[in-house]
């Protein structure tokens, strides 16, 4: 049987986190009554003119710098002409001839090691409105709130060979952009959208096969399934002697199958030409240097700093910096309680576990750094033991409760009254002569049982360390 190789390139659209739209001063806020964030410019009224939001240029250049691109010093916008009702002018202002960034690359890491993925270009453009189809009537309605929201499109080189590499590339890209604050990059909400260009060829072939473009991929899982499904479909076609048709396909994640949307033959001629309403952009070195200086700490630097500044292991630093929100959360909590390793543990173990169980992303951590810091404070003061702490943490995660108040209310505080503890321990010793004998005859492990019995008698509200110390003392 022939061996096939999959060749993948991505087109990633990212919605930039500007407060206002790319060519007018309307709000980019998500939601809002239909057409409440609109003006003559973003609804394509006759006579209106676009004015570039400088923040868009800054974000695009920042992403370009962070992905090792060359910034086009003389760039400009072009018009992409096509008719569709969500596109009020029937042209989209985009960049074809001189995009802002070109020739970049980022490094990804998979099980197979490290690899560079080339970035062909990054260009700026405007988003379209949204069509709402009236299910009962025969009409469709248009909401232009999203019309004119700024996007960048990041076009990779066809450098990826597997779903793993694609996911690694997307995760890396997302992290970079999140760290820059240029976008929140939420796939589900559409602030990051990826189209997959995929072809297969016989292993070792030097020519690319015919590619298809896959759209409607709303999650990493969908992307993985789509890549696997499309690879299989194309190989089946080739093996049965049929040709792959160059076309755009829509992935249906529920059915795990893609459908042809349009072939190359029906591909539209977009009649691109330079946008006459916007003057060419001339980027000077001083401005670019300023953007470079303002670049926030990216992941690699942050990982190094965490190990140095907070004395946490490399492993912890890697996990904590894998997500910008997680890293921020770590720093905020550490600043409050001063115990970085403890914060790291809570985030890496319990927080991650509960996020996963609840199907949440780190962006959605449902509690405040204040309450986690208080919880860590309670454990450090030995006011509660670790078992109780875990219980309390579940409450924090569920309802963001104040752990101090909660522990007080529910009487979960460790009983630090030495006498009461001594009395209980004496009772436990008296009730378990066999274990006492085992311990005294050298089976030191037997003390574990006695500690357990004591904790049980204390209803868990004792500090295991103190129990251990008193037991050792009394058994001598």
Partner 1 sequence: MSLMSLTAVALGEKIKAKEVSAAEAAKEALEAVSKREEQIHSFVTVDEERVLERAAQVQKGIAEGKYTGILAGVPVAVKDNLCTEGMLTTCSSKILENFVPTYTAEAVVNLENAGAVIIGKTNMDEFAMGSTTETSAFGVTRNPWNTDFVPGGSSGGSCAAVAAEECSFALGSDTGGSIRQPSSFCGVTGMKPTYGTVSRYGLIAYGSSLDQIGPVAKDVTDCAAVLECIASHDRKDSTSIQREDYDFTSALVDDVKGMRIGIPRDYFGEGLDGEVQEAVMAAAKELEKKGAVVEEFDLSLTEYAIPAYYVIACAEASSNLARFDGVKYGYRTKEYNGLHNMYKKTRSEGFGAEVKRRIMLGSFVLSSGYYDAYYLKALRTKALIKQAFDQAFSKYDIILGPAAPTTAPRLGESLSDPIKMYLGDIYTISVNLAGLPGISLPCGVDSKGLPVGLQLIGNCFEEKKLFRAAYAYEQTREYRHCPVTER
Quick check: 64 and 104 in contact, CB under 8 A? yes
- Report in angstroms how near the CB of residue 61 gets to partner 1 at its nearest: 19
- Report in angstroms how near the CB of residue 115 gets to partner 1 at its nearest: 35
Quick check: 197 and 208 in contact, CB under 8 A? no
Give, as one character, the DSSP assignment of residue 297: P
The nearer residue to partner 1, 207 or 266, going by C-beta atoms, is 266
Between the CA of residue 347 and those of 58, 116, 306, 367, what are the distances in Å?
33, 31, 14, 12
The nearer residue to partner 1, 25 or 364, going by C-beta atoms, is 25
Helix (H) or strand (E) holding 167: helix 163-180
Dihedral through CA 397, CA 402, CA 404, CA 410, nearest 10?
-70
- Report in angstroms how near the CB of residue 193 gets to partner 1 at its nearest: 24
Helix (H) or strand (E) holding 261: strand 257-263
- Report in angstroms how near the CB of residue 266 gets to partner 1 at its nearest: 13
Q: Contact residues for partner 1 (CB under 8 A)?
A: 40, 43-52, 79, 81, 83, 85, 88-91, 142, 269, 271-273, 276-279
The nearer residue to partner 1, 127 or 159, going by C-beta atoms, is 127
- Report in angstroms how near the CB of residue 36 gets to partner 1 at its nearest: 15
Polymer length in residues for the chain = 476
- Report in angstroms how near the CB of residue 51 gets to partner 1 at its nearest: 5
Instruction: Give the list of residues 6+ apart from residue 213 with CB closer than 8 angstroms, or none.
Output: 11, 195, 196, 197, 247, 248, 249
Q: Per-residue b/e over 276-303, b at no fewer than 16 CB within 10 Å?
A: eebeebebeeeeeeebeeeeeeebeebb
Helix (H) or strand (E) holding 328: helix 324-337
- Report in angstroms how near the CB of residue 15 gets to partner 1 at its nearest: 23
Q: CA angle at residue 157 from 155 to 161, to 5 degrees?
A: 120
The nearer residue to partner 1, 35 or 210, going by C-beta atoms, is 35
The nearer residue to partner 1, 142 or 298, going by C-beta atoms, is 142
The nearer residue to partner 1, 49 or 335, going by C-beta atoms, is 49
Q: CA angle at residue 165 from 163 to 169, to 5 degrees?
A: 115
The bridge status of strand 212-215 relative to strand 247-252 is parallel
Distance CA 338, CA 328 (A): 15
- Report in angstroms how near the CB of residue 282 gets to partner 1 at its nearest: 13
Quick check: 208 and 178 in contact, CB under 8 A? no
The nearer residue to partner 1, 45 or 205, going by C-beta atoms, is 45
The nearer residue to partner 1, 277 or 473, going by C-beta atoms, is 277
- Give strand ranges (E) for 157-256: 192-202, 212-215, 247-252
The nearer residue to partner 1, 43 or 183, going by C-beta atoms, is 43
- Report in angstroms how near the CB of residue 335 gets to partner 1 at its nearest: 42
- Report in angstroms how near the CB of residue 40 gets to partner 1 at its nearest: 6
Distance CA 99, CA 125 (A): 10
The nearer residue to partner 1, 90 or 358, going by C-beta atoms, is 90
């Amino acid at each position: 049987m022939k061996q096939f190789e999959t060749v993948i390139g991505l087109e990633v659209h990212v919605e930039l986190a500007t407060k206002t739209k790319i060519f007018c001063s309307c709000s980019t806020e998500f939601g809002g009554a239909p057409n409440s964030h609109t003006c003559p410019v973003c609804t394509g009224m006759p006579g209106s003119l676009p004015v570039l939001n400088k923040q868009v240029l800054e974000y695009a250049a920042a992403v370009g710098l962070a992905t090792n691109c060359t910034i086009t010093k003389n760039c400009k916008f072009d018009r992409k002409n096509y008719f569709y009702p969500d596109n009020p002018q029937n042209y989209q202002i985009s960049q074809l001839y001189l995009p802002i960034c070109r020739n970049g690359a980022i490094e990804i890491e998979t099980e197979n090691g490290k690899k560079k993925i080339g970035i062909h270009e990054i260009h700026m453009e405007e988003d379209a409105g949204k069509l709402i189809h009236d299910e009962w009537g025969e009409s469709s309605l248009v909401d232009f709130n999203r019309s004119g929201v700024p996007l960048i499109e990041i076009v990779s080189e066809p450098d990826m060979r597997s779903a793993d590499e694609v996911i690694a590339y997307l995760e890396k890209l997302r992290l970079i952009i999140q760290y820059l604050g240029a976008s929140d990059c939420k796939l589900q909400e559409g602030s990051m959208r990826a189209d997959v260009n995929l072809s297969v060829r016989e292993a070792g072939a030097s020519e690319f096969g015919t590619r298809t473009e896959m759209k409607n991929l709303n999650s990493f899982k969908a992307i993985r399934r789509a890549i696997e499904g499309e690879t299989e479909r194309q190989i089946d076609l080739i093996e049965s002697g049929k040709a792959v048709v160059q076309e755009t396909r829509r992935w249906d994640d529920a059915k795990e199958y893609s459908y042809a949307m349009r072939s190359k033959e029906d591909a539209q001629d977009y009649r691109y030409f330079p946008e006459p309403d916007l003057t060419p952009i001339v980027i000077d070195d001083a401005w670019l240097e300023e953007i470079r200086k303002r670049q926030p700490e990216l992941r690699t630097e942050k990982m190094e700093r965490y190990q140095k500044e907070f004395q946490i292991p490399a492993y912890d630093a890697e996990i904590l910096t894998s997500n910008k929100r997680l890293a921020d959360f770590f720093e905020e909590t550490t600043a409050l309680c001063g115990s970085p390793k403890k914060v790291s543990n809570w985030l890496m173990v319990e927080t991650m576990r509960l996020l996963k169980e609840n199907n949440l992303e780190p962006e959605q951590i449902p509690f405040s750094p204040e309450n986690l810091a208080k919880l860590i404070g309670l454990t450090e003061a030995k006011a509660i033991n670790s078992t109780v702490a875990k219980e309390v943490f579940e409450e924090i995660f569920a309802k963001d409760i104040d752990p101090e108040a909660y522990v007080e209310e529910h009487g979960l505080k460790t009983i630090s009254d030495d006498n009461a503890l001594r009395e209980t321990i004496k009772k436990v010793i008296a009730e378990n002569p066999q274990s006492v004998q085992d311990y005294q005859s050298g089976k030191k492990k037997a003390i574990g049982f006695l500690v357990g019995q004591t904790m049980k008698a204390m209803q868990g509200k004792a500090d295991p360390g103190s129990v251990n110390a008193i037991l050792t003392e009394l058994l001598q």
